[in-house]
């Protein structure tokens, strides 16, 4: 196989398809940062407005290094402003007047208290697309409740579906609700931007709670409940829709995941493991019966896999045309030939880490690809370049002296080990 040429880790001169789009990012933590990362990776100028101490995401450190910030804030610019001051809020207004998109994640009502309501911003810039991220949305009885992703992952039904029936519900070990909301929001921003730029429409406000996107990706849970009146118990790694599908332990102590979600694939598994008679067995003859008898089916398949080591299982099922793969942890992923060959993991220049392992721009576009143009910024790194031309020399210096514009305060935060 011919290996594709290695991509540049950084290309400062790259011009993505969103070149010319300015984004003012007032958000904090994850959802807003992941949303604007997608825009930045494809060429938008994302101006991250940080408080003088920096975005809270900077405090998620490992051995003192802001890894979460570095991964989610590349290609962005940082301006450090004190938004508690009217002068700081006025600078936001002036930046918003030059932008196409504004993203915020304050609790509903806070933007209005700051004099930065959508109506006020649209009076300055009628074409502005405003994204409002919150836990529960801009209306409804919970709109003023705190809305961290953990609460949403519990409230949405996700945790109740996740884990094993005889154990407690399981929350995800990463920021799932935030990331899903961010990707929904990214798509919605592109729709709203198209309305403005192609259809000649006006700017609008996007109400993006964390709840709605996560609840939507859980599928037909409400419809199924209406039909059956049942609340399905947790099934671990088994699927409630198809069988066999699970993780199985190998002879040498590794794990594999196997999925046979079609009738033909399920029959092939049974034949290949030497149990062709089970194809006609009423317990396993149809998908509905295989799901119903999933525990027994897993015992049979798991017993076969447990007699062979990882490499032997992968080879056997691959040759049989059955979908199987190893269950990797991060130490295995970073060394996997597939991951390295596709450059699904790259290292970018970083003074603190001597190379930062991270994902490339996703997805890959053949004609107008995104690019990594520069590393995540320091707090207030772009104050001078962005605000001095906007304010003029005298006002810029005055606001710096007044503490409205920070001169690059070092971020604070406990190390996260």
3-state DSSP assignment of residue 296:
helix
What DSSP line would sit under 2-14, residue for residue?
A: PPPPPPPS--TT-
* Parallel/antiparallel/unpaired status of strands 101-104 and 22-25: parallel
Q: Are 163 and 169 spatial neighbours (Cβ–Cβ below 8 Å)?
A: yes
Measuring CA to CA, which residue among 312, 285, 286 is closest to residue 304? Answer: 312
In sequence order, the 6+-apart residues with CB closer than 8 A to the CB of 95 are 24, 47, 49, 79, 386, 390
In angstroms, rounded to a whole number, what is the distance separating the alpha carbons of residues 33 and 71?
10
Backbone angles phi, psi at 370, to 5 degrees: -80, 180
Q: Are 371 and 13 spatial neighbours (Cβ–Cβ below 8 Å)?
A: no
Strand ranges (E), 176-319: 205-209, 245-249, 255-259
In 245-349, which residue ranges form alpha helices assigned H by DSSP? 263-272, 287-292, 294-306, 310-319, 330-333, 337-341
In angstroms, rounded to a whole number, what is the distance separating the alpha carbons of residues 337 and 360?
16
For the record, the structure tokens of 27 come out as 């958000």
In angstroms, rounded to a whole number, what is the distance separating the alpha carbons of residues 320 and 367?
38
Is residue 178 part of the annotated active site? The answer reads yes
Q: Are 295 and 237 spatial neighbours (Cβ–Cβ below 8 Å)?
A: no
In angstroms, rounded to a whole number, what is the distance separating the alpha carbons of residues 69 and 33?
9
Catalytic residue of the set 55, 178, 252, 354? 178
Cβ neighbours around 296 below 10 Å, total? 14
Measuring CA to CA, which residue among 277, 324, 278, 321 is closest to residue 297? Answer: 278
Angle, vertex CA 334, rays to CA 329 and CA 339, nearest 5:
105
Cβ neighbours around 353 below 10 Å, total? 15
Residue positions annotated with a catalytic role = 178
């Amino acid at each position: 196989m011919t290996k594709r040429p290695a991509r540049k880790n950084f290309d400062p001169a790259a011009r993505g398809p969103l070149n010319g789009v300015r984004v003012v990012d007032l958000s904090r933590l994850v959802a807003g940062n992941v949303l604007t990362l997608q825009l930045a990776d494809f060429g938008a100028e994302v101006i991250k407005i940080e408080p003088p101490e920096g975005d809270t995401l900077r405090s998620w450190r490992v051995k003192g290094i802001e890894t979460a910030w570095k991964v989610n804030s590349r290609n962005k610019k940082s301006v450090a402003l004190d938004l508690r001051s009217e002068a700081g809020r006025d600078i936001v207004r002036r930046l918003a007047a030059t932008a196409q998109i504004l993203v915020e994640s304050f609790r509903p009502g806070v933007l209005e208290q700051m004099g930065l309501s959508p109506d006020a911003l649209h009076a300055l810039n009628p074409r502005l697309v405003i994204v409002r991220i919150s836990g529960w949305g801009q209306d409804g009885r919970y709109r003023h409740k705190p809305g961290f992703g953990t609460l949403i992952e519990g409230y949405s039904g996700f945790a109740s579906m996740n884990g094993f029936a005889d154990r407690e519900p399981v929350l995800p070990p990463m920021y799932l609700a935030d990331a899903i909301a961010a990707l929904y929001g990214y798509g919605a921003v592109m729709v709203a931007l198209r309305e403005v730029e192609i259809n000649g429409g006006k700017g609008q406000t996007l109400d993006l709670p964390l709840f709605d996107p996560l609840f939507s990706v859980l599928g037909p849970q409400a419809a199924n409940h209406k039909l059956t009146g049942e609340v399905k118990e947790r099934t671990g790694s088994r699927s409630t829709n198809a069988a066999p599908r699970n993780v199985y332990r190998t002879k040498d102590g590794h794990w594999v995941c196997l999925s046979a979600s079609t009738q033909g694939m399920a029959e092939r598994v049974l034949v290949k493991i030497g149990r062709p008679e089970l194809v006609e067995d009423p317990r396993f003859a149809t998908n509905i019966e295989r799901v119903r008898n999933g525990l027994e089916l897993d015992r049979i398949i798991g017993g076969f896999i447990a007699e062979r080591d990882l490499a032997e299982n992968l080879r056997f099922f691959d040759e049989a045309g059955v979908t199987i793969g190893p269950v990797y942890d991060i130490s295995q992923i970073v060394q996997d030939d597939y991951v390295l060959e596709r450059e699904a993991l790259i290292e970018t220049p970083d003074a603190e880490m001597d190379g930062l392992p991270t994902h490339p721009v996703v997805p890959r576009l053949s004609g107008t690809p995104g690019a990594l143009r520069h590393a995540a910024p320091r707090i207030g790194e772009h104050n001078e370049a962005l605000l001095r031309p906007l304010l003029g020399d005298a006002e810029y210096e005055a606001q710096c002296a007044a503490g409205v514009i920070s001169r690059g305060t070092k971020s604070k935060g406990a190390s996260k080990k």
